Amino acid sequence: MQFELTKEYVSELQECLHDNLAAELLNEVNLLHPADIADICDELSPEEVVLLFQCLDREIATDVLVELEEDVREKLLKNLSSKEIAENFIDNMDSDDAADIMAELSDEKKDEVISAIPDAELASDIVDLLHYPEDSAGGLMAKELIKVRINWTLIQCLREMRKQAEDIEDVYTIYVIDIQDKLIGMLSLKKLLLAPNGATVKDLYFDEVRSVKAYEKSDDIASIMEKYDLVVLPVVDELNRLIGRITIDDVVDVIKEEADKDYQMASGISESVDSTDSVRVLTRARLPWLLVGLLGGILGALVIGQYEDTLQIYPEMALFIPLIAAMGGNVGVQSSAIIVQGLANNSLGFDNLIQRLGKEFLVALLNGLVCSVLIFIYTIVYKDSNELAATVSVALVLVIIFAGLFGTFVPLMLDKYKIDPALATGPFITTMNDIVGLFIYFGIGHLMYIWL
Which residues from 284-323 bind a copy of itself, rule CB under 8 A?
286-287, 289-291, 293-294, 296-298, 300-301, 304-305, 308, 311-312, 315, 318-323
For the segment 403-432, give every residue that binds a copy of itself (CB under 8 A).
425-427, 430-431
What minimum distance in Å lies between the beta carbon of 349 and a copy of itself?
Answer: 4
For the segment 367-396, give every residue that binds a copy of itself (CB under 8 A).
367, 370-371, 374-375, 378
For the segment 132-161, give every residue that binds a copy of itself (CB under 8 A).
158, 161
Of 22, 120, 239, 279, which lies in the binding site for a copy of itself, with binding defined by CB under 8 A?
279
CA-based radius of gyration for the chain? 30
φ/ψ region of 352 (left if φ > 0, alpha if ψ in -120 to 50, else beta) reads beta
The answer to whether the CB of 172 falls within 8 A of the CB of 245 is no
Interface with a copy of itself by CB under 8 A: which range of 114-122, 132-140, 198-206, 329-337?
329-337
User: Judging by beta carbons within 10 Å of its beta carbon (0-12, 13-18, 19+), is residue 349 exposed, middle or buried?
Assistant: exposed
Of 76, 86, 186, 266, which lies in the binding site for a copy of itself, with binding defined by CB under 8 A?
266
Which residue, 118 or 322, has its beta carbon nearer to a copy of itself? 322
Contact status: 238 vs a copy of itself (CB under 8 A):
no
Closest CA to 56 of 86, 36, 78: 36
Contact residues for 346 (Cβ-Cβ < 8 A; gap 6+): 223
Phi, psi of 185 (to 5 degrees): 175, -170
Angle ∠(192,198,202) on CA atoms, nearest 5: 60
What minimum distance in Å lies between the beta carbon of 151 and a copy of itself?
Answer: 20
What is the spatial distance between Cα 260 and Cα 137, in angstroms, rounded to a whole number?
A: 20
Torsion of CA 261, 263, 265, 271, to 10 degrees: -40
Closest CA to 126 of 113, 109, 135, 136: 113
Of 59, 131, 133, 259, which lies in the binding site for a copy of itself, with binding defined by CB under 8 A?
259
Which residue, 86 or 139, has its beta carbon nearer to a copy of itself? 139
Single-letter code of the amino acid located at 198: G
Contact status: 1 vs a copy of itself (CB under 8 A):
yes
Q: Bridge-partner residues for 175, per DSSP?
A: 147, 186
Of 155, 231, 353, 419, which lies in the binding site for a copy of itself, with binding defined by CB under 8 A?
231
For the segment 81-110, give every residue that binds a copy of itself (CB under 8 A).
none
Of 120, 179, 193, 450, which lies in the binding site for a copy of itself, with binding defined by CB under 8 A?
193
Q: What single DSSP character describes residue 320? A: G
Interface with a copy of itself by CB under 8 A: which range of 71-79, 83-91, 98-106, 248-256?
248-256
Contact status: 283 vs a copy of itself (CB under 8 A):
yes
